[in-house]
Amino acid sequence: MDMLQVIFLGTGGIMPTRERNVPAVALRYKGEVILFDVGEGTIRQMNTAKLSPMKVEKIFITHFHGDHYLGLGGLIQTMNLWNREKPLHIYGPKYTFEFVQNFINSGFFRPVFDIHVHELGETRLKFGDYEIWSFKVEHGIPALGYVFKEKDKRGKFLPEKLKQYGLKPGPMLGKLEREGQIEWNGRIIRLEDVTGPRRRGVKIVYTGDTEPAERVRLFSERADLLIHDATYLSDEDRGDSYHSTVKEACETAKSSKVKLLALFHRAFRYTYDEYLREASKICREFGVNFVVPRDFDVLTYKSGEWQLQSLLEGGR
């Protein structure tokens, strides 16, 4: 599998602070950059992370609270200044078309490249080697979560099986891989006859803002990474807001058998150290493997494992 990276451009919620920006997550896969949410200042964060906006073809917005989409104007205008020609696709829940049109047509500015807006319900979108699924979450307004699912890969060629059928690396093996079966030495050989078990493609779930919800649990089943709203440390802090606590995010991750949980959208009332200390206690009680990402942290998926590092000089 080609290297896949999840880059946290903004990890906080509600309002930016000196320490962290509002939500934006970039997924880098095979040269493409996919954005999930574009909080204010996302273009600045991308510049710091050395991510080119010209490589972004798809933006998925979870909902239209300002901290999740107000960076869209700056991002589009930068694309315009850099003479972008290829289209940009923007996806989101109900009212996305209306809100995006109002946003990009404000002021003395019009994009010179095509922008295609797609309103989604619970939808399965297919893009080459991966799919993106949208699912409804609970946030008091139209809001979606998203699943990035890489297609499953064929198993590796088994040398002993190739030898058994008299096959060697070359044009016939390439044809077998392309077509799924070939006729060789008077017999039909199928791809599965000479390869091991299929390899499961990576699965990443981003909830956006949500209360605990059964739909989130279902779509997060056996995810390699779950980026879950964990705005508050306690029910008392949350009050009547449509968000989740760290405990609730851990409960979902454990129930869904998630490989790694990223606690996201931390409220500005907590310092990072305070939040990490309390979240560590809670997650350990559930036996959940977790991270509390900061802006410019990167999760790289290699050989079935996640590696965490920072893009900032000198790390953390």
Binding residues for Zn(2+): 63, 65, 67-68, 139, 209, 265
C-beta of residue 175 within 8 angstroms of C-beta of residue 188: no
Is position 67 annotated as part of the catalytic site? Answer: yes
The amino acid present at 188, given as its one-letter code, is I
Euclidean distance between CA atoms 164 and 182, whole angstroms:
15
**Catalytic, out of 67, 224, 229, 295:** 67
Q: How far apart are CA 288 and CA 284, in angstroms?
A: 6
158 Rama sector, left if φ>0, alpha if ψ -120 to 50, beta otherwise: beta
Instruction: With beta carbons less than 8 A apart as the criterion, state whether 198 and 155 touch.
Output: yes
Beta strands, E only, the chain? 4-10, 24-29, 32-36, 56-60, 88-92, 115-119, 124-127, 130-136, 144-150, 181-184, 187-190, 203-206, 225-229, 261-264, 290-291, 297-302, 305-310
Closest CA to 43 of 18, 12, 80, 74: 74
Q: Rounded to an integer, what distance in angstroms lies between the CA atom of residue 100 and that of residue 92?
A: 10
Which residues are tagged catalytic? 67
